Amino acid sequence: MSNDVRGDAPPDGACDSHVHVFHGSVDAAIDRPTPNLLLASLDQLGFDRAVVVSSAIPGTAGSGNAATARVLSLAPERLRGIALLSESSEREQIELLGTQGFVGARFSYMDLDALRAGRPMGPRVDRPRALTQMATVMREIGWQAHIFGTCSQIVAETGFLATLQVPVVIDHMGWLSDTSPRGATFREFVAAVKAEGWWVKLSALRNGPIGALDSVRPFHDALLEAAPDRMIWGSDWPFVGMPGGSTSSRILYDQFARWTPDADLLHAVLVTNPAELFGF
């Protein structure tokens, strides 16, 4: 899991906008990605900031908001957190998370129960109930909603997401498995990004096989052209549940930098945009 330092150094203030932390062994290829390992990984890569996204992946130990809160406490000036909420979460709990460095919550349109049953993860058929239940509180305290779903699901939810009246951040470029760069679904997605003011994480990982992510480049280019002031980048460290090979934050960053050769755009995606969105 080491990140060999090579390639161009990232700009000062660079932010990895999508990482996870677990307390315990979570994958045969990953040895305890603890908070200290996250900070070491950022230092090796030359990144000053990161956004830790709480996760509830079946079979992982020590996941969830508690694991995220522990790492946020180690470097509050460098880190922000994205929480997991349920329909029964109480306002006092959410406000407490805000004092610990959390700035939003993640809602999954993907079927995590399939993972628990040993099946491939696919789209859910229903809307996450917590997203509806927690919208008012999130709006009142200034939180953002991170959406984990397929491109077609997100397009279908455009009208509903507009009713939330909170910043909407799309994980994994919209999970592009159900569309193509020239397909109608992706064109509608790009149009919604422009019209609705959505933010998008330009994360190539999980949108193609490890070692062959160049197929994702057309999606990257289209989104960056559509809304350069609302694009951010995330590595998805520590790469849990990735079949077909291994990768590193350095490999993924170098690829992103090659795909974003304009220095001003690179700075916007890595520094300016996340600083605005996450309040660094």
pLDDT at 97 over 70: yes
What local confidence, expressed as pLDDT, does residue 28 receive?
A: 38
Measured CA to CA, the distance from residue 140 to residue 160 in angstroms comes to: 18
Average pLDDT over residues 110-118: 61
Q: Where are the domains of the chain?
A: 15-278
What local confidence, expressed as pLDDT, does residue 61 receive?
A: 45
What local confidence, expressed as pLDDT, does residue 210 receive?
A: 73
Counting DSSP H helices and E strands in the chain, the numbers are: 12, 8
Consecutive H or E run containing 168 = strand 168-170
The per-residue pLDDT for range 17-49, each reduced to its tens digit, is 999 987 554 443 444 556 778 999 999 999 999
pLDDT band at 122 (very low <50, low <70, confident <90, very high): low
pLDDT band at 239 (very low <50, low <70, confident <90, very high): confident
Percent residues over pLDDT 90 in the chain = 65
Please state the pTM of the whole predicted model.
0.89
pLDDT at 2 over 70: no
In sequence order, what DSSP letters do the residues of 255-270 get, joined into one string? HHHHH---HHHHHIII
pLDDT at 62 over 50: no
What local confidence, expressed as pLDDT, does residue 117 receive?
A: 54
Beta carbons of 78 and 275 less than 8 angstroms apart: no
pLDDT band at 137 (very low <50, low <70, confident <90, very high): very high
What local confidence, expressed as pLDDT, does residue 197 receive?
A: 97
Topology adopted by domain 15-278: TIM Barrel (3.20.20)
pLDDT at 107 over 80: yes
Q: Which of 216, 78, 111, 232 is nearest to 167 (CA)?
A: 232
Measured CA to CA, the distance from residue 140 to residue 165 in angstroms comes to: 10
